[in-house]
Amino acid sequence: MTLKSFIALWTHRYYKYTHIGKAHLLGYQAYLHFKGVKGKLKKGQKLIAIIRTEHFGDIVAAEPISRYVRSLHPDAHIVWFVKPSFSELVAHNASIDEIFREFCVTQRKTLLDTGIFDEVIQLQFTNNNHCPKCQVFVDNPVAARRNINIYNYFNYGNLLEVFAQTGDLIPEKATFPADDKPKLYLQESHRQKVDSLNLKEPFIVLHCQSNYAPKDWPAEKWEQLVQWLADNYLYQIVEIGLKSNLNVSTRVYRNLCGQLSILETAEVIRRASYFIGLDSGPSHLGNASGTFGVILMGSLNDFPEYNPYSGGYGSQENAVFVRQKGLPCAQLSFDFVRDKVAGVIPLP
**Dist. CA 27–CA 112, nearest whole Å:** 8
Domains and CATH numbers, the chain: 15-166 (3.40.50), 191-344 (3.40.50.2000)
**Dist. CA 9–CA 273, nearest whole Å:** 54
The pTM for the full model equals 0.95
**Dist. CA 212–CA 55, nearest whole Å:** 12
- Going by C-alpha positions, the residue among 314, 324, 327 that lies closest to residue 157 is 314
Cα–chain center distance at 104: 18
The pLDDT value given to residue 314:
98
The pLDDT value given to residue 139:
86
User: Measured on CA atoms in the order 58, 64, 68, 70, is the torsion positive or negative?
Assistant: positive
The pLDDT value given to residue 326:
87
Own/partner pairs for 124-130, CB < 8 Å, 24+ apart?
124/51, 124/52, 124/53, 124/163, 124/166, 125/149, 125/150, 125/153, 125/166, 128/54, 129/105, 130/105
The pLDDT value given to residue 7:
58
The pLDDT value given to residue 17:
81
The pLDDT value given to residue 345:
96
The pLDDT value given to residue 6:
57
**Dist. CA 167–CA 155, nearest whole Å:** 16
Residue 195 buriedness (CB in 10 A; 0-12 / 13-18 / 19+):
exposed
The segments of the chain whose pLDDT lies below 70 read: 1, 3-4, 6-14, 127-128
Per-residue 3-state assignment (H helix, E strand, C coil) for the chain: CCHHHHHHHHHHHHHHHHHHHHHHHHHHHHHHHHHHHHHHCCCCCCEEEEECCCCHHHHHHHHHHHHHHHHHCCCCEEEEEECHHHHHHCCCCCCCCEEEECCCHHHHHHHHCCCCCCEEEECCCHHHCEECCCCEECCCHHHHHCCCCCCCHHHHCCHHHHHHHHCCCCCCCCCCCCCCCCCCCCCHHHHHHHHCCCCCCCEEEECCCCCCHHHCCCHHHHHHHHHHHHHHCCCEEEECCCCCCCCCCCCCEEECCCCCCHHHHHHHHHHCCEEEEECCHHHHHHHHHCCCEEEECCCECCECCCCCCCHHHHCCCCEEEECCCCCCHHHCCHHHHHHHHHHHCCCC
